[in-house]
Amino acid sequence: MRLRRSVFPLLTSLLLIAGCSSHTQTQSNKPRVGLVVGEGGRGDKSFNDSAFDGLIRAEKELGIEYDYIEPGDGADREAALRQIASGRSIITFGIGFMFTDDMNAVVKDFPDKKFACIDYAVTPGKPIPDNLSALKFREQEGSFLVGAIAALMSKTGVIGFVGGMDIPIIHKFQAGYEAGAKAVRPGIKILFGYAGVTGEAFRNPAKGKALALSQLDQNADIIFHASGTTGFGVFEAVRERHKLAIGVDSDQYSEAPGYILTSMVKHVDVAVYRTIEDTLNNRFHSGVHELGLAENGVGYVYDEHNKNMIPASVINQVEALKDKIIRGEIQVPAQ
């Protein structure tokens, strides 16, 4: 276990959570929040880092302290949640749909503690525990917009998509991307590829590069990825071939300056921050809470980095589509 400085009361007895890193701040009377990082880990410049940004913002603006654990493998997730919940944390976050079963197992043993799970997989007909907030996103809506950008900007008429794990939540990115592209350019050709069927698919840059190169060989000139650190391989491929990529979850321009056309942003940081704020103000609500374009939960990046890459005429079309989605005039498919 790689351990940063910690004085968490139960940590000594729980160091058997092998292969993970953790952090705890000095104990005080400040409210405390816990977070367990998901697949791909911190440093993904994407999903997990966005969640952590929300935690840091809450530290600065709301005066909380925090504990976080980065599990070494899937078997550690439940143990990590239990470790944090056993302490002073007022709410404990699990980052990613793969925490669903672990959350279900833990929340019932800590009925007086609150929990939140990003991308919790809801089972139809099964109620959400009273102490759990299921935070979900309409990823397909943001993906629709970057799909439209890709189709409008493509010079070859061929664009690509690289997914991480072949699962329903990533299918939402693909479905929205395809729908947005075809909405503005019906004859566009879209190539699809997935890195695998296990959590490793979110942390395999070599596979991401191979998938991207295959699509570039088939004349794709813009590739959108939804694949965690696997996407770093996609960025490497477009740099080598002087093509373009679209980032995911956070603004990923800095990972390949000049080669990132835009990024589909998923405001996990906002969801984490707002949930902490609500908990502190006794407004915690269990059940499913879904964020899309209307709630500023998803979107795309258009700033000083890509204003010279994307014409204003393209952005005007995309903004019109965004307005129609928010008004309910366009229903974006999720699969």
Shared domain for 194 and 62, answered yes or no, is: no
Shared domain for 96 and 56, answered yes or no, is: yes
Shared domain for 257 and 273, answered yes or no, is: no
* Three state DSSP letters for the chain: CEECCCCCCCCHHHCCCCCCEEEECCCCCCCEEEEECCCCCCCCCCHHHHHHHHHHHHHHHHCCEEEEEECCCHHHHHHHHHHHHCCCCCEEEEECHHHHHHHHHHHCCCCCCEEEEECCCCCCCCCCCCCEEEEEECHHHHHHHHHHHHHHHCCCCEEEEEEEECCHHHHHHHHHHHHHHHHHCCCCEEEEEEEECCHHHHCCHHHHHHHHHHHHHCCCCEEEEECHHHHHHHHHHHHHHCCEEEEEECCCHHHCCCCEEEEEEECHHHHHHHHHHHHHCCCCCCEEEEECCCCCCEEECCCCCCCCCCCHHHHHHHHHHHHHHHHCCCCCCCC
In a domain, 220, yes or no: yes
Tally of structural domains, the chain: 2
In a domain, 180, yes or no: yes
Q: Supply the CATH number for residue 85's domain.
A: 3.40.50.2300
Shared domain for 323 and 197, answered yes or no, is: yes
Q: How far apart are CA 17 and CA 36, in angstroms?
A: 13
In a domain, 185, yes or no: yes
Shared domain for 168 and 219, answered yes or no, is: yes
Which pLDDT belongs to residue 43? 77
In a domain, 332, yes or no: no
CB 17 within 8 A of CB 69: yes
Domain range for 170 is 139-266+302-327
Shared domain for 190 and 308, answered yes or no, is: yes
CB 333 within 8 A of CB 140: yes
In a domain, 297, yes or no: no
Shared domain for 204 and 274, answered yes or no, is: no
Q: In degrees to the nearest 10, what's the CA dihedral of 252, 254, 255, 258? A: 100
In a domain, 122, yes or no: yes
Shared domain for 88 and 198, answered yes or no, is: no
Shared domain for 276 and 216, answered yes or no, is: no
Which pLDDT belongs to residue 47? 82
Shared domain for 182 and 86, answered yes or no, is: no
In a domain, 335, yes or no: no
In a domain, 296, yes or no: no
Shared domain for 158 and 124, answered yes or no, is: no
Which pLDDT belongs to residue 256? 95
Tens-binned pLDDT, residue by residue, of the chain (335 aa): 222 323 333 333 343 344 455 555 556 789 999 999 987 778 777 788 999 999 999 999 999 999 999 886 656 899 999 999 999 999 999 999 999 999 999 999 999 999 999 999 998 888 899 999 999 999 999 999 999 999 999 999 999 999 999 999 999 999 999 999 999 999 999 999 999 999 899 999 999 999 999 999 999 999 999 999 999 999 999 999 999 999 999 899 999 999 999 999 999 999 999 999 999 999 999 999 999 999 999 999 999 999 999 999 999 999 999 999 999 999 999 99
Shared domain for 262 and 171, answered yes or no, is: yes
